[in-house]
Every structure is written in structure tokens, then in C-alpha cells.
Chains A and B, each alone.
Chain A
Amino acid sequence: MAATELLTTKVRSEGLGLRRLLRSPGLLDRFALFVLVALILVAIFAPLIAPHDPLIPAGPPLTPPGRAFWFGTDQIGYDIFSRVVFGLRASLVGAFVVILSGIVIGGLIGLTAGAVGGWVDSALMRTTDVFLALPAPLLAIAVVAAIGPGFTHTLLAVAIVWWPWYARIVRGEITALRHRPQTEAAKLSGISRRRIWFRHLLPGSLPAVLVLATLDVGGLILILAGLSFLGLGAPAPAPELGAMSAQGLRFLLSSWWIPIVPAAFVAILAFVANLVGDGIRDLMGSME
């Protein structure tokens, strides 16, 4: 029966997304990607890379940068290079944890709101708006005041105000998808609601979430460093870039490297993360 029609055999080949990512962006994007990956590797292998224990004084205090201590030592004698390496780790882990919690919480709420629609949608989105209205620093201060200072507590405070962005963007994508023929066809296929939600709807929000997440890395690193600068991070000797900068601030004129080096790394990290985020956004746009 199929013999009467010529069998159509050829299908177009599919370009690999990863190959495109490495080939298409401009020089700046590729450079930023390289730096970011390098910094992430440094953070992952921090114990192997750091020459000294960041919590044990390694030499005389206030040693300027030199061969023995690449970034010098601080007022107590900690090796700043080792502390920066561990500080990068804290910054990146913090950013990833907040983003991950945002994707999970916001994704579920956005998916529910978008897929169900109606009053459920309205209720969930108005609740989301309430959380969106909370100022992160004040909330962090409140949390710290209530349950004591600590890195986890700061992350918790930021995570509470961060997920609404993801809920909004997922909800928007899902709502648009819900009325597309592909979803109607899936509904008529008689498949389970769970499968429609997680196989036909949720993956459609992935590109937008990915773009938001990569653009968020830079912002979160800044916010977390800022909160830590205000003393809302881990207690004193813990190697955090913001706190290191804050504690070294009074040596700015005598031993500039103590506050400047950690601050510079916050700036570099945030800058390259933003560049990579921009690159990924352009890439997603060109794939539409």
C-alpha cells in the first residue's frame, strides 16, 4: 500500500547545540567562557590549588604580594591567594544554590500556574508578587537577627526572594505553550496529565530559564558578596570575598592588597558571568 507513494526517507540532519555554542559566539564571549570555566575549575579544586590552609596564618601579617605569597598576606597573616581561591568557591556555590532553589521552587509554581490556569494561576502569581516585593538585604538582616548569622542563613534569605523570577518566566512560557497545537494534540493523545506537564510543557521553558539562570550568576555573586560585606555572611575567619574586603577596608591606604584583591575577584567573576549569560542569550535567540 505504501508502494503507491514514494517513501520519503530523507530527513534534515540536526546541528549539535554544543558545537554551535563553541563556534558561533564572538571572541569576547569565548574569552569570557574560558575565564569563567577556569574560575569554576579553580573553585572545584580549591584544596589542591591553595598553597596554604585559609584558616591558619601562613606568614607574617601585612606581607605585600610577592613570590612567597602571590597576593600577599592580611593583617593576621592568612595567605590571601588561598583565601581568594576558597572565597571563589563560596561565591559560586552560593550563587548556584540560590539559582537551583529558584529553578526548582519557581519552576514548580510556574508550571502549576501556567498549566492549570484560571484562579489557581491568579492565586499563585499574586503570592509570587508578594515575595517579589520583599527587599533581599532587609530580609537577610531579619533572618540573621532571628536565627543567627551564617552562610546558609544568608542563602536562605536570598533564595526566598529569588524564586519568583523563575516562577514568572516559567509560567509565561507554559501559558504560551498551553494554547499551541502541540499541547492540544498531546491532550487528544490521551496521555496522562503528568506526562503532558513534564514532557510536553516543562521542557519548553528550559531555554528561557537557562538564559535567566546564567544572567543571574553575576548578579547573585554581587548580592551575596554585598551581604557578606555587610557582615551578613559566615562569621569572621571564614574565607568569603565580601567579608575579606570589608575586614581589610581599614588597611586600604597602607596595605591596599588586603581589600582590593578579593574585591577585584568579585568584579571579575560577576563580569565574566554576565558576558557568558549575554552570549547564551544571543545564542538562544538565534536558535529560535
Chain B
Amino acid sequence: MSGPDSDAGVIVENARATTGEAATPPSVVARVEDLRVTFDRRGTPLHALRGVSLEVRAGEILGIVGESGSGKTVLGLSLLGLLPDDPRPEISGSVDVLGTDMMTGHERDRRALRRRTLGAVFQDPSTSLNPTMSVGQQIVEAAGTRDEAVRLLEAVGIPDPKRRMRSYPHELSGGQQQRVMIAMAIANRPSLVIADEPTTALDVTVQSEILDLIAALRADLGSSFVFVTHDLGVAAEIADRIVVLYAGRLLEEGSTADVLTDPAHPYTIGLLASRLQLRSPRDRPVVSLPGDVPDPESPPPGCPFAPRCELVVEACTDQLIPPIEIPHRAGTAACIRLDDARALRRSMHTGDPWEAPPSIEGAAVQLRGVTKSFTLRSRFGSAVKVDALRGIDLEVARGEAVALVGESGSGKSTLLRIVAGLEQRDGGEMEIGVAAPQMIFQNALASLTPWLTVRELVGERLSGRRVSRAAIDRAVDEALVRVGLTPRVARARSRQLSGGQAQRVAIARAIVDPPGLLLADEPTSSLDVSLRAVILNLLNRLRRDLGLAIMFVTHDLAAARVIADRIAVMHDGTIVELGEAGQVCADPQHPYTRALLASLPGESLETGGAAWQPRSS
């Protein structure tokens, strides 16, 4: 790592020469000081950042970790000087990148800085690339010359780069599109690259490749990277240093190894504990953080985590807690009870073991040789047949939970939709041994009709039977309480619900009349880490209380392991491995299962204090 460091020094010097100011010492690429950003949402202030200070050092990868609503994206945009102009949010504090003021500086200077010394990679490459321009044209815009563009494509690992120059974005896979975005970001050897969730939209195996690429590029170029992510595990894989953001406040800062092995702030401790790993206990509830993230319209006046914190005392809720030096190691945490927090880490318990799920005779679903293909028609009339399922044999017993695990295109969702009756199978046999299976969806908000109240949505499953209004209302209230909501939620409509609340309402609708078979299509993958654990615990409990069989579709083996008795690993329309959940994760037989397990981010991460190894290039 000696090479990159000296390299970085040179680049920073150059950058400073072009901007001609000396406000920033060379070892620091960017400095954010007490940044507050408040948006206006139809008259109500929306507090995105509430006094954040940090610095990005030369040549480092800084991980900014935060759940939704933490302000991490706004922080990334602030570093790029790209906060929206219309309407302009209220801003105080300063953002200094290589001597240029990104908040109040002249737009011309900021643009020049962005062009010469900054790079940006965003979450969704398919919308960040211009669909009407070839990949080559777009990279040449950033790189200047064709030769340089080809060199960049090669550097980011695109095979046959000369030919790919002529391709249009839609002809590339998601992973390749993100590589192209990265190629554009690193044109001109930037001093600082801001990457906002660059791997979130990608499959795990592709994510792993992109992380490798970023680590390698940092070593080659010596650029600093700011890596914004919601996933501590991903940050663990790539970052040298981590800052933890929550509700617009910076709660903890430290080296990756310190933050992961010796977290100081109760929120970081909870976040780490609720992260599902391959060694999370399966026989009891996983650790979950109670409650919801604060509403950005009315954040608590004190520590934003106080409403969810076990250690809360009055002094926590009075005023904002500034970052405090952690006594026993380097780094800061915004907590006045750091000593007790250390003890909290040890005492974080997961509750009593689950009782065994009821075993019920008979099969909930039996599938034999189920096939399905889709015909994709191109614009010029040529039809392409795609086999989504190539002969699936699977039996799910009553009361049993089976997880279908695979990446996008594996056919796992198609299989689920066939069982639900939303798609028709082309061939094979299917027998469903229970009445009307229910389904919950990845995007719970989109699965709730927005103009109907929760009471109507949950209650309508009981309508058409000879039950009184009052009995339906009672059943709805009962179902809401069962999923951890108060009956008052019944009056709300979907846009009033948070993501976690919406998923609970969707579950309440499914279980208001227990279905015998619950189909779950990635119900946790759009949720924040802390909520994911809550929903998995909920499903695990409902399953035992109500004797549900569950088919759980996910791309996350760690989640599958916790929820399911058996795991079916799917690849390319077939089940490549089927076995007891613990067995599949501990002793995978199929090479594809092994690849999936190997690309799970953050598995090397030990909360106990064992050695942590950063991803090396």
C-alpha cells in the first residue's frame, strides 16, 4: 500500500494547484463541518442532516453507513455539490472539497472540480446511463479520447472493450452497467469518488465482484472513495473507516475494525447484532431493534436513537449529543453512556428458544416437473423463448417453512407466483393441499391499494361470508395486534405507513384468516437491517402460532437459514440443491451454493473481537 499513498499525494497536490487554494491540508481530501440540510416538504421542514462533521482522508475508503432516512444520500450529494436548487434546501455549515466550497461556492468552480477531480457512482446504473447513447460515447465524454475510454473499460474489467464501446446500456447486464459507471467515475483519475449504494441493485455474486473492483481501483489510483451503504456488512468488506449515520446525526466514527469488533454506540451495537449472519442462532428470535426510525419531519430533540435505546436517561433526550472521544480506543461516538453501552453488547440477548413448529400431516403443496417459459418479443418481431422453470419437483409439508434462494432470473419468484395462481404453469403437476394460499410482496406499500384504509384491506378477506361487520372489525383488530400494530392503524391508508408498518399490514391481511400456506416474495429485502430482523421474527412466531406453511423467496441465504426448515437453492430455472437449512449453509454440496455463500458480505465480520481482514486488492 505504499505506492497508492504517494500517488494520492501527487494527485491531491495537482488538484490543489488547479483550484489554487490552501484551505485544506493535503492529507484531507474533503471536510464537512456541522452540516445541516433541511428540505421543505409542502410547508413542513424535513430534517435530512442535523449537524454532521467528518473528513475524508487522502487515499482512504470511507464507509458512510445508515438506514433509510439517515441522510446518507444527502451527505453524498453535498460532497458533490449537487444538492437540488429548486427548491433549495436550507443549508448551514460547510462542505470543503479540495479547497472548493461545495455549498456556497460559484457553480462554475464546483463544476470544474467535479469534472477534474471528482467521480460519482449511483445506485441504479440502468437509470444513470443515457439509453440513447452508446457506452463508448458516454465514456468518451468523461475520458476525452477513444483510446482512453477503451483503456478505462478494460481497467474496470469489461471483456472485449473495443467491441463494447459500440454497445448501448440495455445490452449490458446490471453488473456491467455499473462497471461502465465506475469507468466514467474514474476517468481523469479523480481524487475523490462518491459511490452511493453502488451494489445495492445487484445480485450478491456481482456485488462481490464490484467490491473487488473498487478495492483494486483504489490501490491503483490512490483515490479516496466515499462508499455510502445501508449494509454494515458491505462497508465491512470495503471501508477503511466507517461513520454511522442515523436520522441526520453522526452517531459513531472509527476504523472499520474498531467499529465492527468493538462498537461503541448503542445503535451500532444493535445494528450489528441484528445483522443476520450464517452463525446467527436459528432456534430463537434474532436480535432486533424495537420501534421505528424517527420521522424526519419531527426528529427527537435529543439523541435520535433515544426512543429505541435501552440505556436512555433523561440527559439523552434534552439536547443533541455531540461526538465524544471513545475512552478505550480511537474514534468518537455521540453517546453519554459509553461505559454502560459496552456492557449492553454482552447482555444483548435474543429471547427464549422457539418451541418446535407444529407438525401437521399432509402436504401444503406438491410440485412435480413444473415448467414455465416466457416469450419475449423484440421490437422487430423475432420471438425469444426463455425457460423460467425447467422441471421443478418440490413438496412443502403443512406447517413447514421452505426457502427458495437464488439470484435474479433463477425462477424463484415465478415458481412462487405459479403456486399463488398468479401465473399458469406450462407443464407438470401441482397439487395444493390447503385453501387459498396468501402472499406477501417485496414492496409491501405497492401491495396495499392506496385509497383503501387498512381496515378495508384486511377486512375484505372476510367479506362475503356470513359474518357481521362487528365480527370483521374485531378480527381485523386482532390480526393487527398479532403483527405488532395497534388497532388504531386500521384507520390509516398506505401512504401514512412506514415500510415496516406496511409489511406488517400486508402480513395482517394474509393471516386475518390463517391461510395454511403463506407465500413470501422477498418480504424483507427492501427493509432496513433492523426491521428485517423484526419481520423475520414475526413470521417465525406466526408460523408457530397459526400452523402456517411458508414458502419464502429470497436472495439472502442468511435470512433463509433463519426462517426456513429446508432451503432450495435455485439457479437458472432448476433446484440445484435442496436440504435442511443448517446443512445447506454449513456444508453446501453444489458449487453454486458455495459461490452464493462465499459472496455474502460481512461474513468475516466478528462482533466478538476476532481478527478482521479488510478486502485486499
Contact surface of A with B, Cβ cutoff 8 Å = 1-2, 4-15, 20, 24, 180-192, 195, 199-200, 203-204
Contact = CB atoms under 8 A, between A and B. Distances in A.
A15 B496 CA distance: 10
Interface of B: 42, 285, 288, 290-292, 295, 351, 420-422, 436-439, 441, 443, 446-452, 456, 460-461, 463-464, 481-482, 484-486, 488-489, 492-493, 495-498, 500-501, 504, 506, 509, 534, 537-538, 541, 545
Given A1-B541, A184-B422, A12 B451 contact: no
Given A9-B486, A195-B460, 4 more contacts: A2-B481, A11-B489, A12-B498, A192-B464
B351 A181 contact: no
Nearest to B492: A11
A11 B496 contact: yes
A47 to B, nearest CB: 39
Contacts of A13: 496
Contact of B482 (A2, A187, A200): A2
Contacts of B538: 5
Contacts of A182: 446-450
**Which 9 pairs across A and B sit closest by C-beta, in order of nearness?**
A6-B290, A181-B447, A5-B484, A11-B492, A12-B496, A181-B441, A185-B447, A182-B449, A11-B496
Contact of A199 (B447, B452, B464, B484): B452
Given A5-B537, A8-B485, A190-B436, A185 B285 contact: no
A24 B42 CA distance: 8
Contacts of A190: 436, 461, 464
30 contacts: A4-B537, A5-B484, A7-B481, A7-B486, A8-B292, A8-B484, A8-B486, A8-B501, A11-B488, A11-B489, A11-B496, A13-B496, A14-B496, A24-B42, A182-B448, A182-B449, A183-B449, A184-B420, A184-B447, A185-B439, A186-B449, A189-B461, A190-B436, A190-B464, A191-B460, A191-B461, A195-B463, A199-B449, A199-B456, A204-B451
Point out which of A24, A183, A184 has the most chain B C-beta atoms below 10 A from its C-beta.
Answer: A184
Nearest to B501: A8
A204 B451 CA distance: 8
B323 to A, nearest CB: 28
A189 B493 CA distance: 18
Contacts, number: 112
Contacts of A195: 460, 463
Given A1-B482, A11-B492, A12-B496, A188 B438 contact: yes
A5 B292 CA distance: 11
A205 to B, nearest CB: 11
B506 A185 contact: yes
Point out which of A1, A12, A15, A20 has the most chain B C-beta atoms below 10 A from its C-beta.
Answer: A12
A256 B213 CA distance: 80
Contacts of A186: 449, 460
Contacts of B509: 185, 189
Contacts of B291: 6, 8
Contacts of A184: 420, 422, 439, 441, 447
B501 A20 contact: no
A24 B498 CA distance: 25
Contacts of B449: 182-183, 186, 199-200, 204
B484 A7 contact: yes
B463 A185 contact: no
A8 B498 CA distance: 10
A2 B538 CA distance: 9
Contacts of B288: 5
A121 B3 CA distance: 66
